[in-house]
């Protein structure tokens, strides 16, 4: 059984505009609670007890949040300072960087990886707990796939990820929810900076997909990218719906 979840939460969240000037976007409040608290609630409800939180921007605030959260929720949360390990974002940055920081902490185990500014249901998080030799990518049918990475699959197996395709190639998008085996750490050193100058987690997954080691698991419930000011009201609506 997989017990560890790596939560990537080092970024500022510039799309949140002024709201993330004084705090990470993950700590922006919705209904008087930080967004990240709701995500951690669902991670624990899904049965995971060992959380590795990769932090960076205003990490002291993240530390204070974690200390307060643990007062009411018994679990293990380990903070990993990305910028102290890899250097500032000007040196090394990207969605693959949190994985570079946690190799010693996961110690040869399979683990769940997700982004701390996305919301996933407890049911979908629990469904990623698959102990086999495959990496899994959470996919969702979406009305505007051109805004995301699109998953191209052959049956269950992932063939490739097409980032923000200009022409329609499919509508199954990448939700940045993954289950990784230790194989990921063999591929990490092989990726290069992308066109935008960052190390991309999707490049690692593409290398694993070439070895036919990646399967797609479809998301069943609500998923949300919490990235813009208008998403506060949208997420509040999701919470209201879930509580009914």
**Along the 244 residues of the chain, how does pLDDT read in single tens digits?**
999 999 999 999 999 999 999 999 999 999 999 999 999 999 999 999 999 999 999 999 999 999 999 999 999 999 999 999 999 989 999 999 999 999 999 989 999 999 999 999 999 999 999 999 999 999 999 999 999 999 999 999 999 999 999 999 999 999 999 999 999 999 999 999 998 899 999 999 999 999 999 999 999 998 999 999 999 999 999 998 877 6
Q: Which phi-psi region, left, alpha or beta, contains residue 179 (left: φ > 0; alpha: ψ -120 to 50)?
A: beta
Please tell me the predicted confidence (pLDDT) of residue 242: 79
Q: Are 200 and 194 in contact (CB under 8 A)?
A: yes
Residues in Cβ contact with 57 at an 8 Å cutoff, skipping those fewer than 6 apart:
10, 11, 12, 24
* Distance from C-alpha of 148 to C-alpha of 144, rounded to nearest angstrom: 8
Q: Are 94 and 198 in contact (CB under 8 A)?
A: yes
Full-model pTM:
0.96
> Which CATH superfamily includes the segment(s) 4-137+176-213+223-243?
Spore Coat Polysaccharide Biosynthesis Protein SpsA; Chain A (3.90.550.10)
Nearest Cα residue to 117 out of 232, 233, 240, 241: 232
**CB under 8 A, 24+ apart: contacts of 12-15:** 12/57, 12/58, 13/117, 13/227, 15/227, 15/228
- B/e letters for 219-238, b = 16+ CB within 10 Å, e = fewer, are bebebbebeeeebbeebeeb
Helix (H, G, I), strand (E, B) or coil at 14: helix
* Distance from C-alpha of 154 to C-alpha of 207, rounded to nearest angstrom: 16
Query: And the tokens for 243?
Result: 């509580």
């Amino acid at each position: 059984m997989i017990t560890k979840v790596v939560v990537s939460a080092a970024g500022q969240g510039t799309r949140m505009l002024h709201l993330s000037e004084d705090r990470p976007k993950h700590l922006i409040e919705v209904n008087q609670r930080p967004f990240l608290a709701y995500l951690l609630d669902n991670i624990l409800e899904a049965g995971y007890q060992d959380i590795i939180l990769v932090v960076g921007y205003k990490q002291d605030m993240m530390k204070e949040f974690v200390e307060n959260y643990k007062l009411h929720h018994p679990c293990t949360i380990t903070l990993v300072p990305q910028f102290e390990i890899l250097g500032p974002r000007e040196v090394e940055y990207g969605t693959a960087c949190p994985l570079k920081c946690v190799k010693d902490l996961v110690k040869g185990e399979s683990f769940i990886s997700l982004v701390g500014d996305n919301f996933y249901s407890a049911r979908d998080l629990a469904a990623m707990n698959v102990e086999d030799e495959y990496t899994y990518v959470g996919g969702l049918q979406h009305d505007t796939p051109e805004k995301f990475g699109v998953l191209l699959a052959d049956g269950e197996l992932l063939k490739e990820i097409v980032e923000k395709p200009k022409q329609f190639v499919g509508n199954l998008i990448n939700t940045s929810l993954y289950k990784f085996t230790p194989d990921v750490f063999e591929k990490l050193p092989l990726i290069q900076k992308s066109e935008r100058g960052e190390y991309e987690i999707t490049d690692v997954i593409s290398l694993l997909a070439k070895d036919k080691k990646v399967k797609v698991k479809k998301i069943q419930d609500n998923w949300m990218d919490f990235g813009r000011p208008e998403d506060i009201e949208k997420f509040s609506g999701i919470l209201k719906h879930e509580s009914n």
